[in-house]
Amino acid sequence: ETGVTQSPTHLIKTRGQQVTLRCSSQSGHNTVSWYQQALGQGPQFIFQYYREEENGRGNFPPRFSGLQFPNYSSELNVNALELDDSALYLCASSSPGYSGSPYEQYFGPGTRLTVT
């Protein structure tokens, strides 16, 4: 069974630029959620994708957008980067019909984004 993978591991961007982060969900999972974790804080929900449709969104501006592909992998896109976007971005997968609770999400190692 393959776990959740994310790429790249680290990324440095300049303010105003755009960035794309990628996530492959755990085998058998059809739901992907994205979280932002600022230093010293808990992860904060950005949005979730289920069967290629956005299925819930947290308090993040529209310049945070995403995609989910037929193989359930996902992208997080951030436009017009700001300094405060510097954080660890975590992807988590889950599946409503999978064994275990649908609330349980399985996280990847994250992408560390630094905006200068």
Question: Contact residues for another protein (CB under 8 A)?
Answer: 4, 31, 33, 35, 40-45, 48, 50, 55-56, 58, 90, 92, 94, 96, 101-110
111: part of which helix (H) or strand (E)? strand 111-115
**To the nearest whole angstrom, how small is the minimum distance from the Cβ of residue 106 to another protein?**
7
**To the nearest whole angstrom, how small is the minimum distance from the Cβ of residue 99 to another protein?**
13
User: What DSSP line would sit under 53-78, residue for residue?
Assistant: EEEEE-S--TTEEEEE-TTS-EEEEE
CA 2 to chain centre: 17
**To the nearest whole angstrom, how small is the minimum distance from the Cβ of residue 86 to another protein?**
17
CA distance 21 to 109: 12
Nearer to another protein, 52 or 104 (CB): 104
Nearer to another protein, 13 or 112 (CB): 112
Identity of the residue numbered 26: Q
